[in-house]
Structure 1
Amino acid sequence: MKKCHIAYLACTAALIGTGLGAAPPAAAHRIHVVHPGESIQKAVDAAQPGDTVLLTYGTYHESVDVSTPGLTLRGVGRGTVLEPAAGASTGTAPSTGSDAAKTGTAGKPGKAGKPGKPGKAASSCAAAGNGICVVGTKDHNVDGVTVASLTVTGFAKTGLYATEADGLTVRRVTAVKNGVWGIATEHSIHGEFRDNTARDNGDAGLFLANTVKEEQGATDTEGTVVERNRLEGNRIGVTVRRLRNLTLADNHLTGNCAGVFVVGDENKPKAGFVTVRDNRIVRNNKSCPKTARLDALQGSGVVLTGAEDSLVTHNVIKDNVGKSPLSGGIVLFKSFVGTTSDRNRISDNLLRDNTPDLVNTDTGKGNTFEGNSCRSSKPAGLC
């Protein structure tokens, strides 16, 4: 097996004259180039904060744990493909991700300017059925990681999973036919998810949550952005679960059972302060059966349940047709644990040929429907 090639990107201060008074050279950031057949994990483990691990064109049969702050893991486009290794987990039950996410054993944080040491959970990403895992701990977030320009497909749980991440950037990632989620995060803030494709995943194409297995009030993402993504053929295009302060904008959602879910429950604070704007949400008419936590789904554009102080505006929502209690273009629905949605504003959306366009079966207070272009509603009079 060839060794990983390493190219150095160093900016060194230029010296004019005799050399007296020269500034020290800037720290070098390395590019670790990996080819199919070589170990991505080995390159990641060798990387320092600020380095790039560049995956060339081809298929890699591997899962990867990332805990180095500031690392960029990048392919050269959709033709850089990560698939499970032979004999990897094939289960399809939802999971919070790696064991590291559950136990905080992803590794010991390093000293300032140096990466943490890999811990006992170094291979837990694959063991849990995930493709790429960006994992910090409760005491030490992994900061500033970027994953870009590659495909994750066929993993039993999640294509790309992150927990305890601050400033995670995911862009131009294609997550296809993973057992549960395409791209998922928990316990994370300041995220940027742009220009990704999540298609034909078992549950949500993009799943953003405070936590999955614990009862906890909604947490503040401090401005996470989900923008210009294409979400197609999943159970739900985007699920925002028990979070606050997040924006979904300019996404295209089609062919899912439901487009967007903003979900809260009885915990305090509620989910809310979510903005859903300028999205195109069309023909999300795939049929999905009832689960233990949710009724059967078909024909849902945007659903708010147990959420407060959120804004749904300037979206184009068409041809979402189904017979589920949650069917409709934009739906306010009392949560299944009895929590109401309050003070949400539904304004200036274009809705056509949904069944119906607007739905409010919630008994919450202060919800408003203003300036929408629509033709049908339940109850009548919302258009």
Structure 2
Amino acid sequence: MPTRRVHHLAAATAAATTALTTALAALGAASPAHAAGAVHVVQPGESIQQAVDAARPGDTVQLLPGTYRGSVRIATAGLTLRGSGPLSVITPGDTADGSAGDTACATAGHGLCVVGSDDRPLDGITVEALAVTGFRKNGINASATTGMTVRATHVHDNGQQGISQEKSTRAVIIGNESSRNGQSGVFLANTVDSEGGAIDTDGTVVSGNLLADNRIGVTVRRLRDLSVEANEIHGNCGGVFIVGDEGVPRAGALTVARNEVVANNKYCPPNPRLDAIQGTGILLTGAEDTTVTENEVRDNVGASPMSGGIVLFRSVVGVANARNLVTGNHAVGNGPADLVDADTGTTNSFARNHCAVSAPAGHC
């Protein structure tokens, strides 16, 4: 049973900082391209994109407080885009020169696009201390990156994902608030528009974030070697979704630990691939070799087939979960049960959890 609970985002900061330090240590020393460079200061009414385009690897684009209209595309390695906190706001609209910012990013409907290529991932990007809101699709959309940090951002009221990454490795997503987005607060995937086996993230960390009032707090789809830890997740339709399928390698080798997952009881209607979602705390579907441990999971209640505190559920293609360990969690007040094994897999384990009701009985 856990000995400590994370009750507020501030209370998660120490754990998040530890996770960040560990993750950065694992990345090793910064390359010369990432050494401190010039600072490009942008004021409200000026173009962020122009400053980003003028920057060199290792430079910082610093936003002063204010509203900045238009989408922004980053394709320069080692760049830092830093605001002055949530009062530095990127939102849709025309820039001072009458454009919508970066054309490709704006046309796609995203706010901030960070773009590498499959054969040359974009290395060492940092996005921190700013807000991204009101975009038709994703607030922060990253593809083919490595070592990207998203820290202390407020990403809210976007049409699809708040913070999204695909085909990326070694990410650190820490201390953000992602809320009221149409899909996930944080969405991580191998690819967003095609099938395929899971990719290894080489230790991506999602830690110390506040994820509230989205469809799903955190979605991890077809990935391996990743941790979701010490986040505060509440008021979504579902809290944490670990999603795999028949692709090889399978999704898994993940850790979901020390999160506070409370009252994720919004109702989200079904779509062509998934039943309605309501009252799901932590869900594993089609995953393997994943550890769910020391989480506070309570008051997640709903009438969906996936409802419950910690739920093992069959994948949409019928692949069973395998060799997952659910241990040392505090799961109470969830319905229809605190622990739910609704899968056909026989190699999953439940041990030393503090809970009142399990389905089937015997897991508490």
TM category, shorter: 0.7 to 0.9
Match of 2:221 among 228, 241, 247: 241
Q: Give the C-alpha shift of residue 86 in structure 1.
A: 4.6
Distance (Å, rounded) in 1 between the aligned partners of 2:116 and 2:103: 14
When the two structures are aligned, how many residues end up with a matched partner?
324
Distance (Å, rounded) in 2 between the aligned partners of 1:173 and 1:200: 14
- Bigger radius of gyration: 1
| DSSP-derived class of the 2:227 partner | strand
Q: Give the C-alpha shift of residue 364 in structure 1.
A: 1.1
Match of 2:175 among 181, 195, 213: 195
- 1:295 match: 275
Distance (Å, rounded) in 2 between the aligned partners of 1:293 and 1:55: 40
Match of 1:131 among 108, 111, 128: 111
| DSSP-derived class of the 1:44 partner | helix
Checking the alignment, whether the CA contact within 8 Å between 2:289 and 2:322 is kept in structure 1 is yes
Q: Which amino acid aligns with 2:351?
A: E
Higher share of residues assigned helix: 2
**Structural mapping, 1:144-293, within 5 Å:** 144-293=124-273
- 2:339 match: 358
Distance (Å, rounded) in 2 between the aligned partners of 1:126 and 1:337: 34
Q: Give the C-alpha shift of residue 214 in structure 1.
A: 1.3
Q: Which amino acid aligns with 1:69?
A: A
Q: Rate the CA distance shift 1:122–1:155 in 2: closer, same or farther, 3 A.
A: closer
Q: Give the C-alpha shift of residue 266 in structure 1.
A: 1.0
1:82 aligns with 2:90: yes
Checking the alignment, whether the CA contact within 8 Å between 2:49 and 2:102 is kept in structure 1 is no
Q: Which amino acid aligns with 1:77?
A: G
Percent of pairs identical after alignment? Answer: 54
- 1:69 match: 77
Distance (Å, rounded) in 2 between the aligned partners of 1:54 and 1:212: 30
Deviations 1:137-194 (A, max 9, x none): 1121110000000000000000000000000000001110000000000000000000
Checking the alignment, whether the CA contact within 8 Å between 2:70 and 2:102 is kept in structure 1 is no
Match of 2:52 among 26, 44, 53: 44
1:306 aligns with 2:286: yes
Q: Which amino acid aligns with 1:31?
A: V
Distance (Å, rounded) in 1 between the aligned partners of 2:195 and 2:179: 29
Give TM-score scaled by structure 2 length. 0.88
Moved >2 Å (runs of 4+):
none
1:31 aligns with 2:45: no
Deviations 1:58-109 (A, max 9, x none): 000111000000000000100000000159xxxxxxxxxxxxxxxxxxxxxx
Q: Which amino acid aligns with 1:191?
A: A
Q: Give the C-alpha shift of residue 365 in structure 1.
A: 2.9
Give TM-score scaled by structure 1 length. 0.83
| DSSP-derived class of the 1:181 partner | coil
Q: Which amino acid aligns with 1:251?
A: N
- 2:4 match: none
Q: Give the C-alpha shift of residue 336 in structure 1.
A: 1.4
Could you tell me which runs of 5 or more consecutive residues in structure 1 were left unpaired when the two chains were aligned. 1-26, 88-120
Deviations 1:239-294 (A, max 9, x none): 00000000001000000000000000111111001100000000000110001111
- 2:358 match: 377
Q: Rate the CA distance shift 1:381–1:209 in 2: closer, same or farther, 3 A.
A: same
- 1:91 match: none
Distance (Å, rounded) in 2 between the aligned partners of 1:378 and 1:365: 14
Checking the alignment, whether the CA contact within 8 Å between 2:45 and 2:68 is kept in structure 1 is yes
Distance (Å, rounded) in 1 between the aligned partners of 2:354 and 2:339: 10
Q: Give the C-alpha shift of residue 28 in structure 1.
A: 6.8
| DSSP-derived class of the 1:45 partner | helix
Distance (Å, rounded) in 2 between the aligned partners of 1:72 and 1:215: 32
| DSSP-derived class of the 2:152 partner | strand
Distance (Å, rounded) in 2 between the aligned partners of 1:270 and 1:287: 29
Q: Give the C-alpha shift of residue 127 in structure 1.
A: 0.8
1:53 aligns with 2:61: yes
Distance (Å, rounded) in 1 between the aligned partners of 2:277 and 2:345: 22
Q: Which amino acid aligns with 2:360?
A: P
